[in-house]
Structure 1
Amino acid sequence: MNDFFMFETELPAGSGFPLFGVCHILWLSAIILTGILLVRWYCKQSEKMCHRIRAVIGILLPVMAIYRDGILVITGHWGIGFLPLHLCSMAMWIAPLYIFTNKRFLGVIYVLLCLPGAVGALLFPDWNMYPVWNYMHIHAFLSHGLLVIFGCMLIISGEMIPTWREFYIPIVFGAIGFTIIHRVNLMFRTNYWFLNEPSADSPLIWIQHITGSKWYQLGYFMFCVGIVAVWMCLIRVMDKWRKSCNFLARHTHV
C-alpha cells in the first residue's frame, strides 16, 4: 500500500514490470478479452442504448484524466510534462468531443490516429517503472484499454469507418501537431509525442537508429503515415468482414 501513491522517482529500483513479462501479458489479455465482450455487447444494443454507452465513455475518459492529474497535484508531482499534449492524453478529450458534438473529422482522427497510438502505448508502455499496485500503473492500463475498446466499438459497429477521401485528415492533424508540439518541447524542455527522444524499448528506437538524430522526426512522421495507411487498409477489411458475418446482431452502418 505504501507504493500506491509513489511517483517514479520515489520507487525503489526494480519496482516495475518487464515488457511482455507476466504482468504485461496478463493486462493485455484482460483488455483483449474485455474488449471482445464489450464490443460484441455494444453491437447488439439499440441505437438509444448505444448513445447512452457513448455518453458514459465520454464522461468517464475526462474523469480518469482529471483523477490522475488530481493525485499528481495533491502529491506534489504534477509538472509541465503532464499537460494533455501526448497523443493518448489528447485522445481522452478528443473522444468526448466527438461523442458530444458528432463532428466526423474528430471521429476520423480518433479512429486513425488515437486508436493505433493507444495500441502502441499498451504494447510498449512507458509506465513500466511502476509496480502493479500503483495508481499510475492501474490508471495507464485502464485508460489506454478504454481508448482502444471505444475505438473498436466505433469500427466494428460501423459507426465510424473512414474513407480514403478522409485520409488527409489525420495526416494534416499530425503535421500540424508535429510542428506545434516541437515548439512546445523546445519552449518547456519536454518530450511530448516523443519528438525529442524515442520511448524506451519502442519501435521509435529503431527509427532513430535508421535515421539518426538529425532525421529522426522526419522518419518518425513517415512511420506514422505508414501506420495510418496500413491501419486504414485493415479497417476496410474489417468493414467487409462485419458486413458478411453474424458477429453483429444489431446495427451496421453503411
Structure 2
Amino acid sequence: MNGFTLFDSTHIIWLASIIIILIFLIYLYKFSNIVNQPLYLKSVFWLLLLLECAKQLFLLVKGQYSYWSPPLHLCGLGIFITGWHAYFGSRTTSTILYALTLPGAAIALLFPGWTADPVGSFLHVHSFLFHSLLLAFIFPLLITKQLDLRWQDLWRAVVFLVFIVPPIYFYNSHFQTNFMFLNRPVSGTPLQWLFDAFGASGYLTSLVLALLIYWCIAYAPLLIRKEL
C-alpha cells in the first residue's frame, strides 16, 4: 500500500480524529479529580515510552535499525520531558512543553515527515499516535491552566536548546542524518519555505527567527493577561 500526501483524505481523517479525541481527553481530564489527573499524565507518558520501545524493537526485528532510529527529534526528546513533568513537574518542564514540544508535535502532525510510509503500516500508525499523545499530554494541562508559564522563564527553553542542539547537529553531520531538521528541511513543509527564502547559509538563522516569532505569539496572551 502506498503512502499519503499532505492534506489528502487520509491525512484529513487522521487530523479530524485527533481533534475529536483531544476534545474528549481535555474534557475527561478537566473533570477528573486530583487523584486521577496525575494518573492520566503518568499513563500518557508510559504510553509514549512503550510506543517508542515498540518502534525500536520493530526496527531491530525488521533489520531496519540505523543511525536514524534513536529518538533524537524534538518530539522524541518530548518523551523524557513528559515523564519529567508527570513525576516532577516544574517551571522548567512547563516551559519546555509549551515553548518547544507543543509546536513541534503540532507541526509534525500538520506537515508529517512520514508520508512515504505505507498507509496502515506500523510506522504510519505509530507516528500519528505518538505525536497525538504529546498533544494529549500538553493540552489538558494548558486548558486547565496547570502549566506554570511565565515569559521570564523562556531562558529555560533556550538553555535546553543550547545543550541539545550542538551534539545533535554534529551527530547529523557525522552520520548524514537530519534530526530536528537542523541540517536540511523536509520537502513541502514550512521548513522548506524557510530554506527557499533564506538559502542553505541562512537556514539555521531562519529556524531561530521562526521560533522567536512563535514565542512572541504564544506568550503574548500571558503578557496581556498580566497587564489586565
Q: TM-score, normalised by structure 2?
A: 0.93
Distance 2:86 2:139 in 1: 14
1:78 corresponds to which residue?
65
**How many angstroms does 1:70 deviate by?**
0.7
Percent identity between matched residues is: 29
Conserved? CA contact 2:91–2:149, under 8 Å: no
Q: How does 1:1-254 map to 2 (within 5 A)?
A: 15-233=2-220, 236=222
> Secondary structure of 2:85's match?
helix
**How many angstroms does 1:229 deviate by?**
2.4
Conserved? CA contact 1:95–1:107, under 8 Å: no
Deviates more, 1:171-180 or 1:50-59: 171-180
- Equivalenced residue count is 225
Q: Which whole-Å deviations, capped at 9, do the CAs of 1:198-218 have from their partners, x for residues lacking one?
A: 012110111111111011111
> Secondary structure of 1:128's match?
coil
Conserved? CA contact 1:113–1:228, under 8 Å: no
**How many angstroms does 1:108 deviate by?**
1.4
**How many angstroms does 1:177 deviate by?**
2.9
Distance 2:194 2:71 in 1: 25
1:243 corresponds to which residue?
none
Q: Name the CA shift for 1:39/1:160 in 2 (closer, same or farther; >3 Å).
A: same
> Secondary structure of 1:19's match?
coil
Deviates more, 1:224-233 or 1:89-98: 224-233
Distance 1:117 1:48 in 2: 29
Q: TM-score, normalised by structure 1?
A: 0.84
1:12 corresponds to which residue?
none
> Secondary structure of 1:208's match?
helix
Conserved? CA contact 2:172–2:178, under 8 Å: yes
Task: Give the AA of the match of 2:157.
Answer: P
Task: Give the AA of the match of 1:67.
Answer: A
> Which has the higher relative contact order, 1 or 2, with Cα contacts under 8 A spaced 6 or more apart?
1
**How many angstroms does 1:132 deviate by?**
2.1
CA RMSD of aligned residues (A): 1.7
**How many angstroms does 1:37 deviate by?**
1.0
**How many angstroms does 1:79 deviate by?**
0.8
Distance 2:25 2:159 in 1: 32
Deviates more, 1:172-181 or 1:48-57: 172-181
**How many angstroms does 1:195 deviate by?**
1.1
Structure 2 unaligned blocks of 5 or more: none
Structure 1 unaligned blocks of 5 or more: 4-14, 241-254
